[in-house]
């Protein structure tokens, strides 16, 4: 079953993850009230199934708002109002037996949340030799599915359903996928996303209209200046810097190239970043600043990688080069429990048939193999300044590359590809690096990936996550492309 979004990997007990926004699941169960006087044993049986479904939904690790059992259109209207007020991320409608579309259409129309209909009969199959009409009706949840689909279509409501039986683990895996996707949608819709500094000069693909984020994904865009960080770094004490240095040494191995003064500066900046994120209540951050001649702003811009990596490990993804859409992609992957590290092409290895990926910006430490390394750099390629950078090898096994692309019409699209990280030589230049086998010629894959509209950067996370990402895209009404 998919990992609940609250249980993304924790790097260290000394670096606790943030408390992710809880996913709120609305539940309404029902059947046709005309049956109850005809078959006295039916309603109690259906209520037991409804109670079990509520129990299993809670077992997924989310908040459940149970609007109870409805028997007619009037009950449906009352449930719709309760679920609307509760502000649910997704509504699960449990079809215990036949029920009319008038009972659930108001729920879907008024809640403002996506709806998932589930048809879970009591067991795998009926006992045909002993069942009478009343016993059969408990297995009749599939009967209204076509009616619901037709009514939803005509009312402009997206239809999605999962059919199975109450203890069907395959069905519950699909239900969990939709619920987790709704949690990611909620994280985007309720998130506060920071942009600090300015666009990396000339990167046209990175440029993102802030209104388009709120329009298509939801959430609030907080425009920050490098001085918002500067004033906070200036107030960091020596004792706070000492503590951050010790935290860094407990998490990272330090290469001999690390200069002590550079480490203390990165630690001081890291504390200031934490304070800024807290003051502005940020859920993600994209940043870049150039600066000149070693002045404070340049040093701040060059000193962000340690703090950004620590924030990312805690569940507040931070992306360099002002890459807003990638910081959002990293947030999606993080909330799916997959990490999500800032990534771009490094090279294509035609001898080994792999794509080499990485970046000198912030890493998601949870996707690394072994203890991450802090390396000192005299220069950041293409950027001003000097200091420390994070280096780690991505753990071998299944991974997903995921990016938020944008087309000519301005519409966002989700783009993903599943592969496997394999063993082999890696660059030792202060990057998060990986060798990914996508099961085809690396040149052909690179061409297809680039043609998808993904942009310069993307998020790399652990596990194969195309199914979950496809579900998130559907709930956001976005195009999904798998490469």
Tell me the pLDDT tens digit for each residue of 217-263. 999 999 999 999 999 999 999 999 999 999 999 999 999 999 999 99
Residue pair 297/334 in contact by the 8 Å Cβ criterion: no
Residue pair 118/95 in contact by the 8 Å Cβ criterion: yes
How far is the C-alpha of 350 from the C-alpha of 334, rounded, in Å? 31
**CA–CA–CA angle 380, 383, 385 (5° rounding):** 65
Residue pair 323/213 in contact by the 8 Å Cβ criterion: no
Side-chain-side CA neighbours of residue 164 (13 Å): 13
How far is the C-alpha of 181 from the C-alpha of 202, rounded, in Å? 34
Domains of the chain, earliest start first: 22-188 (3.40.50.10940), 193-482 (3.20.14)
Q: What is the mean pLDDT of the chain?
A: 92
Q: Which ranges of 60-216 does DSSP label H, i.e. alpha helix?
A: 73-86, 105-111, 133-137, 145-154, 169-190, 210-216
Q: CB under 8 Å to 293, separation ≥6 — which residues?
A: none
3-state secondary structure of 363: coil
Residue pair 336/462 in contact by the 8 Å Cβ criterion: no
Please give the model's pTM, rounded to 2 decimal places. Answer: 0.92
Q: Where are the beta strands (DSSP E) in 31-87?
A: 63-70
Q: How many CB atoms lie within 10 A of CB 224?
A: 17
With a pLDDT cut of 90, the percent of the chain lying above it is 81
How far is the C-alpha of 470 from the C-alpha of 413, rounded, in Å? 10
Q: What is the pLDDT of residue 348?
A: 95
Q: What is the pLDDT of residue 3?
A: 37
Furthest-apart CA pair in the chain: how many Å? 87
pLDDT digits (tens, 9 = 90+) for 418-445: 999 999 988 787 778 899 999 999 999 9
331 has which bridge partners? none
Identify the CA nearest to 345 among candidates 439, 235, 427, 225. 427
What's the N-to-C CA distance of the chain in angstroms? 24
Identify the CA nearest to 312 among candidates 288, 345, 290, 338. 338
Q: What is the pLDDT of residue 46?
A: 97
Specify the higher pLDDT residue, 332 or 17: 332
- Looking at residues 454-458, what average pLDDT do you find? 93
**CA–CA–CA angle 409, 411, 415 (5° rounding):** 125
Q: Where are the beta strands (DSSP E) in 5-114?
A: 24-30, 63-70, 90-95
Q: CB under 8 Å to 356, separation ≥6 — which residues?
A: 345, 346, 347, 348, 349, 426, 427, 433, 434, 435, 436
How distant, in Å, are the alpha carbons of 218, 287, 403, 408, 462 from that of 333? Answer: 17, 19, 10, 25, 9
How far is the C-alpha of 336 from the C-alpha of 455, rounded, in Å? 22
Strand order in the sheet with 318-319: 220-224, 192-197, 284-288, 318-319
The angle that helices 169-190 and 466-475 make with each other, rounded to 10 degrees, is 50
Q: What is the pLDDT of residue 382?
A: 57
Specify the higher pLDDT residue, 15 or 33: 33
Q: What is the pLDDT of residue 4?
A: 38
293 confidence band (pLDDT: 50, 70, 90): confident
Question: What phi-psi label fits residue 93: left (phi over 0), alpha (psi between -120 and 50 degrees) or beta?
Answer: beta
**Residue 410 pLDDT > 90:** yes
Residue pair 428/468 in contact by the 8 Å Cβ criterion: no
381 confidence band (pLDDT: 50, 70, 90): low
pLDDT digits (tens, 9 = 90+) for 302-345: 899 999 999 999 999 999 999 999 999 999 999 999 999 999 99
Residue pair 128/51 in contact by the 8 Å Cβ criterion: no
**Residue 5 pLDDT > 50:** no
């Amino acid at each position: 079953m998919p990992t609940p979004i609250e249980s993304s990997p924790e790097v260290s007990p000394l670096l606790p993850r943030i408390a992710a926004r809880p996913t709120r699941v609305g539940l309404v169960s029902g059947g046709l009230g005309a049956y109850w006087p005809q078959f006295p044993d039916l309603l109690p049986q259906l209520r037991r199934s409804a109670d079990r479904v509520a129990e299993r939904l809670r077992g997924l690790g989310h908040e459940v708002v149970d609007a109870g059992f409805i028997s007619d259109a009037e009950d449906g209207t009352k449930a719709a109002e309760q679920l609307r007020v509760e502000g649910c991320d997704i509504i699960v409608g449990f079809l215990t037996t036949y029920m009319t579309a008038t009972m659930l259409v108001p729920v879907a129309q008024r809640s403002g949340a996506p709806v998932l209909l589930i048809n879970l009969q009591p067991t795998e199959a009926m006992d045909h030799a002993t069942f009478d009409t009343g016993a059969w009706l408990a297995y009749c949840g599939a009967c209204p599915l076509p009616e619901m689909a037709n009514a939803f279509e005509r009312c402009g409501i997206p239809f999605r359903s999962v059919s199975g039986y109450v203890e069907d683990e395959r069905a519950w895996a699909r239900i969990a996928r939709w619920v987790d996707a709704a949690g990611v949608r909620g994280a985007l819709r309720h998130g506060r996303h920071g942009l600090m500094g300015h666009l990396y000069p000339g990167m046209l693909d990175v440029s993102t209209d802030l209104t388009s984020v709120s329009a298509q994904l939801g959430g609030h865009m907080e425009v920050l200046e490098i001085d918002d960080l500067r004033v906070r770094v200036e107030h960091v004490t020596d004792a706070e810097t000492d503590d951050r240095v010790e935290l860094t040494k407990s998490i990272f191995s330090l290469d001999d190239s690390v200069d002590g003064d550079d480490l203390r500066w990165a630690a001081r900046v890291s504390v200031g970043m934490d304070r800024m994120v807290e003051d502005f209540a940020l859920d993600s951050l994209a940043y870049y600043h150039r600066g000149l001649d070693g002045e404070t702003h340049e040093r701040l811009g060059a000193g962000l990688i340690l703090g950004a990596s620590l924030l990312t490990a805690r569940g507040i993804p931070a992306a360099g080069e002002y890459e807003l859409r990638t910081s959002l992609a990293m947030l999606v992957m993080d909330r799916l429990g997959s990490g999500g590290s800032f990534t771009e092409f490094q090279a294509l290895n035609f001898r080994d048939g792999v794509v080499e990926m990485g970046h000198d910006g912030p890493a998601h430490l949870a996707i690394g193999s072994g203890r991450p390394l802090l390396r000192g750099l005299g220069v950041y390629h293409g950027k001003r300044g000097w200091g420390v950078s994070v280096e780690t090898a991505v753990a071998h096994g299944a991974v997903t590359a995921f990016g938020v692309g944008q087309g000519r019409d301005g519409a966002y699209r989700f783009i993903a590809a599943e592969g496997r990280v394999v063993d082999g030589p890696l660059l030792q230049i202060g990057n998060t690096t990986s060798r990914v086998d996508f099961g085809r010629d690396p040149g052909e894959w690179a061409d297809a990936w680039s043609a998808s509209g993904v942009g310069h950067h993307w998020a790399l996370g652990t596990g194969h996550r195309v199914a979950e990402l496809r579900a998130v895209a559907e709930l956001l009404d976005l195009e999904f492309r798998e490469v």
